[in-house]
Amino acid sequence: MRKWLVAILLILLFIFSVMAGFIVNSFMDFSKNKEESNQAVLAEEKTEDIIDTSSSEEIVSPNAEVILTQTYKKCGHTISSKEIAPREIVNLNKDKVQEYYDEWNIDEFSSNEIKLSRNDPGICGEHYILRESDGYISISCKNNIGEYIFKGLTDISVQYLPEEDLTNLEQGIEIVGRENLNKFLEDFE
């Protein structure tokens, strides 16, 4: 009888072990499924929070050139100049550059080159008159109302100039353009 009792207990223990294993396994599968479900929900939430940071908007590079073109109404001249982009506009977009150059029109905009233009109602600063003053050639520049403002004396003496040049200097020799002025002064030297 004892053998039967031990056999029955072993059978019951076996059945109990199988049931316990089944319950534990079911619980583990449930936990695993729940964790996978939570991860899927978290992944879905993360993708909703992702903000696209790539931009096709151009910004000014540190070595960009700025080309300024100014047209003067009174004299009709157009003067262009090039410069490296000022530090203040590096990494700015077109709208911010327009704020910086508020009196200029942006004609072309890229990260490496910005072309700006504007109309000025006055006279360009490249209308000069040369005269004799204290034995030297003086340079004056025309202002917006047409008056010549003294800019300075050159170190070019009029002492050895031909009579014709002295007569022209007495009347005033008008020159337009800085390059033309430099060339003319070189000829006198």
Instruction: Please state, in angstroms and as integers, the Cα–Cα distance from residue 53 to each residue in 50, 56, 61, following that order.
Output: 9, 10, 19
Q: Going from the N-terminus, what domains does the chain have, and what CATH number goes with each?
A: 65-120 (3.10.20.420), 127-188 (3.30.70)
Instruction: Please state, in angstroms and as integers, the Cα–Cα distance from residue 152 to each residue in 129, 148, 176, 182, following that order.
Output: 11, 12, 17, 14
Q: Could you read off the pLDDT of 54-109 as tens digits, one per residue?
A: 556 899 999 999 999 999 998 889 999 999 999 999 999 999 999 999 999 999 99
54: left (phi over 0), alpha (psi -120 to 50) or beta: beta
pTM of the model: 0.57
